[in-house]
Structure 1
Amino acid sequence: MVGTIVSPSDIEVYDRDGAVCLRGALDARWVAALEAGFEANLSAPSEKASIFHADGAAFVGLDDAEKRSRYTGRADLSAPRFVGDLDRWRDIPEFRAFLLESPVAEIAGRLMGAKKANLFLQEILFKEAGAETPTPWHQDMPFFPMEGAQT
């Protein structure tokens, strides 16, 4: 099935640009699973979460009761947010199913010309409409313990 989703020209685009748009690669079941996973994650961010509000309030690492209390005690949690969180596939079933049962690993492997794809890190970055917090530029490769063209 993935062979029909990923064409040789898609692989060429991926090799050249580092990304490719594969419209229709995921059926409605997987899109719904991702939506449900995001909703679960946003309603209960982990202790690793970074949350930035449009009003300038920032909460990085809700890893203790005081920080979590200050976050959940805010007057306006409905203000647009920019949220990042890590490795929630371990405790959010929809993320786990998406990563382990959907065709995404096979698609990634085909695009990279790899025989297998390993899950190293799962991160969400979610910026709500109206969130004016700038998205910080960064690059992860210098501190990731891997190298090569298939990363």
Structure 2
Amino acid sequence: MNPLSTEDIETYQRDGVVCLKNVLDVEWIVALSEAIDADIRNPGPMHYGYEGDAGFHGNQEIWQLYDACRQYCLESPLPDLAAKLLDSDSVTFYFDHLFVKEPGATSVT
């Protein structure tokens, strides 16, 4: 995992956006991928998709459905990274929203 650099923080504070690469270990990516695949196979109650476009899937509040998503939102390195970028002692998790758009999907997003 790459830590934040002073340049990353300065870029975020100046531009309001920064591209951070390699901030999650592969284990996080695998766990999230498995949870997302499970949600596509068995969508939760907040699921939606665009009619006629099997390549688009959306859902909300999946942190409540999958341990991997809850851990990603609350226990991964991301909350600490966000706090550092925002120069804050803490951050508050408010909401999650999953968007999956497969290659060839025709829906406009």
Does the alignment reach a TM-score above 0.5?
A: yes
* Residue in 1 that maps onto 2:97: 123
8 Å CA contact retained: 2:62, 2:69: yes
Ranges of 4+ aligned residues in structure 1 off by more than 3 Å:
none
The correspondence of residues 40-55 of structure 1 with structure 2, limited to 5 A, is 40-52=38-50
8 Å CA contact retained: 1:34, 1:94: yes
In 2: Cα distance, 1:125 partner to 1:117 partner: 23
**Count of residue pairs the alignment pairs up:** 109
* Residue in 2 that maps onto 1:90: 64
| Among candidates 53, 72, 75, match of residue 101 of structure 1 | 75
8 Å CA contact retained: 1:51, 1:82: yes
Write the letter of the residue equivalent to 2:56: F
CA gap 1:118/1:6 in 2 versus in 1, 3 angstroms: same
What is the Cα-based RMSD across aligned positions, in Å?
1.8
Which structure would you say has the larger RCO, counting Cα contacts within 8 Å and 6 or more residues apart? 2
The correspondence of residues 23-38 of structure 1 with structure 2, limited to 5 A, is 23-38=21-36
Q: 1:101-144 deviations in whole A, cap 9, x for unaligned?
A: 21110011111111111110011111111101101xxxxxxxxx
In 1: Cα distance, 2:15 partner to 2:105 partner: 28
Larger radius of gyration: 1
% identity of equivalent residues: 31
| Among candidates 70, 94, 106, match of residue 132 of structure 1 | 106
Write the letter of the residue equivalent to 2:80: E
8 Å CA contact retained: 1:5, 1:22: no
In 2: Cα distance, 1:17 partner to 1:50 partner: 33
Query: What SS does the corresponding residue of 2:59 show, helix, strand or coil?
Result: strand
* Residue in 1 that maps onto 2:9: 11
In 2: Cα distance, 1:122 partner to 1:128 partner: 20
